[in-house]
Amino acid sequence: MTTLPGLTRPLPRAYVPVLVTAGLFAAMFVAGGVRYEGFATGQVILNVFIDNGFLLVVAVGLTFVILTGGIDLSVGAVVALSTMVSASLLQAGWPWWAVIALVLAMGVALGGGMGAIIHFFGIQPFIVTLAGMFLARGLCYTIGTDSIPITDPAFTAFAQTRIDLFADLWISPSVLIAVAVVLVAAYVLHYTRFGRAVYATGGSEQSALLMGLPVARTKITVYTVSGLCSALGGVLLAFYMLSGYGLHAVGMELDAIAAVVIGGTLLTGGSGYLLGTVLGVLVLGLIQTVISFEGTLSSWWTKIFIGALLLVFILLQRLMSRRGA
């Protein structure tokens, strides 16, 4: 337990990484506002959501997996496959609602299949999801090696819709979808029996079994959720890019993992909050925004800063686990 100055009640240690991430985000925003003209505006924050709505959805699904102590390296490839399937079927004349339904079902099948293999065959999640990554990325190139433009009128109209808020602020429909996913996931994790089973499984799988919790069903379900979120993230990326391409979302699995870890979720499982994941995505997006405002830095500096932050937060987790031992 940690005690903040001015507080008599101790602060649960699990809250500390989330508070650190929130403080980092606030400090970056203030520093950007001081350094760059036009940075400290509400639209800059909303633009981070607009540009990273698909990553937020993917990171939400990955949070479920990491909370159980697992990992899913296939999410970026599933996102790319979802864009390719969406673009090719829309080009073939399928209605948009049927395309989205099929893509989401495909994500559920891939995620559930990997979860079942991990549990019933006792294979490490790293190996199974790595194979899933190669499978999904390979399937992209069986569909086509070039970018496939999306010209369906209904799909493009939705993608180009602008939702006005107030004071010239606006968001895209993808932001509303991402926020809805976060709210539903937060409710499931914190107010349902399944959510409690997720935390218990990540804390100690043996203890969860002794308590009579459905560990097998829980492990399979979290990978199913991750597959579903990856497919939905692919649909949102297709809205954002209006194209399908086998090279979309290369490295997105690493960005999603970084967002989850920077948000305070333990890689060993059992501790973490979806609010932290949201803050992690915002921090990654704000780093990109700062580099864009700077104008003189290469985009590769984004990866450098993310790598440094990831290392710092992993060390923080390690220090906290030692103090709690």
Tell me whether residue 129 is in a domain. Answer: yes
In a domain, 204, yes or no: yes
- Predicted local confidence at residue 158, as pLDDT: 92
DSSP state of 243: E
Give SS3 for 11: strand
Structural domain count, the chain:
1
Q: Give how far the C-alpha of residue 29 lies from the chain's centroid of Cα atoms, to the nearest Å.
A: 21
Residue 324 has a pLDDT of 55
Would you state the pLDDT for residue 19? 87
**How far is C-alpha 316 from the chain's CA centre?**
21
Asked, for residue 125, whether it belongs to a domain, the answer is: yes
Question: Can you give the pLDDT at residue 48?
Answer: 93
Whether 167 is covered by a domain: the verdict is yes
What pLDDT, on a 0 to 100 scale, did the predictor assign at position 5? Answer: 53
Residue 43 included in any domain: no
Torsion angle of the four alpha carbons 51, 55, 56, 62, in this order, in degrees rounded to the nearest 10: -170
Cβ-proximal residues to 45 (8 Å cutoff; 6+ apart), any chain: 29, 282
Domain that holds residue 243: 49-249
| pLDDT score, position 102 | 97
Residue 108 belongs to a domain: yes
How does DSSP assign 148-191, residue by residue? EE---HHHHHHHT--EE-STT-EE-HHHHHHHHHHHHHHHHHHH
Question: What is the pLDDT at residue 40?
Answer: 83
pLDDT at 271: 84
188 domain residue, yes or no: yes
Which pLDDT belongs to residue 287?
87
Q: What is the pTM of this model?
A: 0.91
Confidence at residue 6, expressed as pLDDT on a 0 to 100 scale: 52
Dist. CA 261–CA 92, nearest whole Å: 40
The answer to the question of residue 29 being in a domain is no
Side chain identity at 268, as an amino acid letter?
T
10-residue mean pLDDT series, the chain (325 residues): 54 75 89 86 91 96 95 96 96 94 97 95 94 96 93 92 89 96 96 94 89 92 97 96 93 92 87 91 90 75 80 76 58
- Confidence (pLDDT) at 10: 61
